[in-house]
Structure 1
Amino acid sequence: MKKTIFLSVLSMFSAGVFAQSALDSQVRDAQCKSAADEIAKGEKASQDAKKGAKSSTWVKLATAYEDMAVNCGKDSMASEKAYNSYKKALEVEAGGKGAKDIETALKSQKLYSILMQQGAGYYNSKNFPNALKLFKLASETSPKDTIATLYAGIVAQLAKDNESAKLYFNKFIDEGGKDPAVFYSLSEIYKSEKDHNKAVEVLRKGITANPGDKDLKGSLVNVQLSSGNSQEAVNELKKLIETDPNNINNLLNLAILLQNDNNTKEEALVYYKKVLAIDPSNYDCNFNLGVYYFNQAVEIKKEVDKMDMKEYQKNGKAVEDKACAKFAEAKPHFDTCKATREKEGKPQEQDLMDNLTSLTSVLEQCAKRK
């Protein structure tokens, strides 16, 4: 998640609070008192049976809450109260002549700004539930605005409200938002819920919106792997390699996938060799190649173990020579791994040392046969 972008934009909405705090304290106190007085009058009027039945009463109360949010800031939920008062005004108006003006006020830049500003304040204080509540209302105020939608999704995820996060991230995407972090985060939510099909769908949308983003393409491969769809992962990796042929991670991951499939082991060798052409001392590649040749040798040796004496006398030596050649082919790769660890000043991996010990013993036996 790109938190640096999020914070930088939030600071734009927080700037108004800082500027207001620099006002002369007497002026500020006067503004706060005026807003508080208007709110008190408005709330009293709204509780009166006759006045409370007039939309104008609720509009005045909403305006007073807006002034409190803009000029004073003592009520950190004044923006929500303004929004709710406008909604009440619309309900009371019930389609009357004043409905259009109230709807305009509900969609105004002023209301949107104070909802975002106070939402940012809650975000900065890590009160994610209240921040989410205000960002949701800001999104309602300006339905086509992707910023409020983005913030609602991010804060919902931080608040561990996955349903809201999915709702607002999807809304962000539907409104044309292209931030790669959103596609990634949304796919991770679906992935955590074991909905791999949706995760893949979201990542494909992200790749379409950001065709050059390698991380999204890598995430798609990971999701396909985690869902057991290795063939799709192979296909995606091959596409990645077409556009970025020297990416060692993609080449290595593809080789590993192919090596795990008995039908494509020879193809795996092609990609391992491509990795070594770029990075001859690559530890993972050399280790896997060592294992590759060692396992081939073991399979060949099994043929000898199955032979009866007559067949062994006829073909045994040739098969054993073939197995020994494969064991010998494995050793330089394990030696490279050991040398790489020494060069990097890292302790040797136990698996590597065990393999080298076994291999050395086998090769000594091979030498005695000659």
Structure 2
Amino acid sequence: MKNVFIILITLLCISKLNAQTNGTSKGENFIKQIEGKLDKAKAQVDKQCADAAGSQSAENWYLKAYVYNELAKSQVYKKLAPNAEFEALDAVKKSKELDSKKKFESDRINLLFDLSTLFYNKAITLYNDGVENKKEANFPDALLNFEKFMECIDVLGSDKVIVTNLLDYNKVSLNNIYLYIGYSAQKCNQFEKAKTFYDKLVLLNVPAAQARQSGNPLAYIYYMELLLNNKDTIAARGVAEKGLEVYPENPDVVMAAIELFSKMKKMSEMADLMEKVVSQNANADLKMIFVLGQAFNNIAKEYARKGYQSTAEQYKTKAISYFEKVLNANPTDKKILFNANYNLGVIYYNAGVNAYKQRSESNTTEYEFLFKKSLPYLEKAKEIDPKNKNVLNMLLKAYTSLNEKAKAEAIESELYK
């Protein structure tokens, strides 16, 4: 298989070389003939393609595409045609339409390689910046350029296998492009377009192994969010269940499913799903163990809210055991270390608050025991994040309730300084 792939890449290189020898030199020579100036070349091809007779020439449209592609890459001349790459793609399509004998086919393939790279590089730069820095304004242009990239592939027609192999060679897949388009459309509130591309990745009616080959964990996460935001909870639930089936070991998919079921108030269903996830993750990593702890903690809180105290205690005990597993593994990741300590601290602190409200003069031992139980976890959380106000407030109230005045005063000075 590896040898076949090398042959394909070799053929690709030969194809590009032929294009450069036979066609691209034609474009280069055209520019050289007019003193090597892109501005003059632009004026010439614009005139030729505007002429009644010249506008019917596949060669003229190819030359226009070539010149505009060069304009798009030029820092000096780009301002002459701010949308040069878009006009170049339109010119390629016009040349192909007029070229019934495919005389300039190899030239156009070479140009489409260049154009697709321009579109992709611009799109992925905008996309990554938009995701990483929460720049919503980036997504319309990212979406446009991703769609133009796909248009380049469409124009290739039966030759798109060449681009597919090139993408594989560069570790860029069409499935990733589908994901980028789907998410960009989602951020632009284009629900149907986003759904169309997510449906290429989230295959609900095929076996998990097949869905995994075609999919991407992020597609399931984004799709759940899209459907939930559009009040389609039934479809969102279907995506969540399929995501857990396809990626049971992925903590981000599990977390997204937990949040979905929490918002839907479907605790018993979520409990069943979590038990299944646990059975499929005998050797789970720390992030997954922590996520499962959070899931059981959320289930416990929801059952407690509904008055099912005995069931709530069962799930709270499970949550505690998972958070303790995280700490017993001595994690080096400070975020996981903080969150595990914080969650354990909160569980015991909240139980202490409830016991304190129900205390009697003859029985103070329960709330004292629970507050003392919370302190090592809250103190460790404070050590990791000294300015966390939630942690400081809980420590202040716990120390005060336990009559540890010096510690309470020290926390109070930190909290209100």
Can you give the 5+ residue segments of structure 1 that lack an aligned partner in the other structure?
A: 1-28, 299-322, 358-370
Question: Which residue number corresponds to residue 65 of structure 2?
Answer: 62
Partner of residue 87 from structure 1, selected from 70, 82, 93: 93
Partner of residue 237 from structure 2, selected from 185, 194, 200: 200
Q: Does 1:269 align with 2:313?
A: yes
Following superposition, the deviation at residue 122 of structure 1 comes to: 5.9
Distance change in 2, residues 1:294/1:121 (3 Å): closer
| Cα RMSD after superposing both structures | 4.6
| Residues 348 and 374 in structure 2, CA contact (< 8 A), matched pair in contact too | yes
Following superposition, the deviation at residue 163 of structure 1 comes to: 5.0
Question: Which residue number corresponds to residue 263 of structure 2?
Answer: 226
Q: Does 1:284 align with 2:346?
A: yes
Can you give the 5+ residue segments of structure 2 that lack an aligned partner in the other structure?
A: 1-30, 131-136, 155-163, 165-173, 204-210, 328-340, 383-390, 403-417
> Secondary structure at the residue paired with 2:248?
coil
Task: After superposition, give the CA deviation of every residue in 1:109-141 in whole Å (9 maximum; x if it has no partner).
Answer: 333112223445666697543332122110232
Partner of residue 116 from structure 2, selected from 105, 112, 120: 112
Partner of residue 249 from structure 1, selected from 294, 299, 309: 294
Following superposition, the deviation at residue 199 of structure 1 comes to: 2.9
Question: Which residue number corresponds to residue 152 of structure 2?
Answer: 141
Distance change in 2, residues 1:274/1:186 (3 Å): closer
| Residues 146 and 177 in structure 2, CA contact (< 8 A), matched pair in contact too | yes
Question: Which residue number corresponds to residue 37 of structure 1?
Answer: 40
Distance 1:122 1:220 in 2: 28
Distance change in 2, residues 1:73/1:111 (3 Å): farther
Q: Does 1:188 align with 2:225?
A: yes
Following superposition, the deviation at residue 46 of structure 1 comes to: 1.7
Distance 1:221 1:232 in 2: 10
Distance change in 2, residues 1:210/1:36 (3 Å): farther
Distance 1:202 1:241 in 2: 19
Following superposition, the deviation at residue 45 of structure 1 comes to: 1.8
Question: Which residue number corresponds to residue 239 of structure 1?
Answer: 276
Following superposition, the deviation at residue 49 of structure 1 comes to: 1.6
Question: Which residue number corresponds to residue 11 of structure 1?
Answer: none
TM-score (norm 1): 0.62
| Residues 83 and 106 in structure 1, CA contact (< 8 A), matched pair in contact too | no
| Residues 62 and 108 in structure 2, CA contact (< 8 A), matched pair in contact too | no
Q: Does 1:132 align with 2:143?
A: yes
Distance 2:152 2:270 in 1: 42
| Residues 294 and 326 in structure 1, CA contact (< 8 A), matched pair in contact too | no
Distance 1:109 1:142 in 2: 9
Task: After superposition, give the CA deviation of every residue in 1:62-87 in whole Å (9 maximum; x if it has no partner).
Answer: 22222333566743532211111122
TM-score (norm 2): 0.56
> Secondary structure at the residue paired with 1:211?
coil
| Residues 262 and 298 in structure 2, CA contact (< 8 A), matched pair in contact too | no
Letter in 2 for 1:109: F
Q: Which moved more, 1:265-274 or 1:327-336?
A: 327-336
Distance 2:190 2:51 in 1: 39
> Secondary structure at the residue paired with 2:249?
coil
Following superposition, the deviation at residue 328 of structure 1 comes to: 6.2
Question: Which residue number corresponds to residue 373 of structure 2?
Answer: 336
Query: Map of 1:8-47 to 2, 5 A cutoff?
Result: 33-47=36-50
Question: Which residue number corresponds to residue 367 of structure 1?
Answer: none
Distance 1:199 1:107 in 2: 42
| Residues 35 and 64 in structure 1, CA contact (< 8 A), matched pair in contact too | yes
Distance 1:208 1:231 in 2: 18
Distance change in 2, residues 1:227/1:326 (3 Å): farther
Q: Which moved more, 1:217-226 or 1:189-198?
A: 189-198
Distance change in 2, residues 1:59/1:222 (3 Å): same
Task: After superposition, give the CA deviation of every residue in 1:262-295 in whole Å (9 maximum; x if it has no partner).
Answer: 4x53233233334455649822322454577789
Distance 1:273 1:122 in 2: 46
> Secondary structure at the residue paired with 1:142?
helix
Question: Which residue number corresponds to residue 181 of structure 2?
Answer: 152
Following superposition, the deviation at residue 173 of structure 1 comes to: 5.1
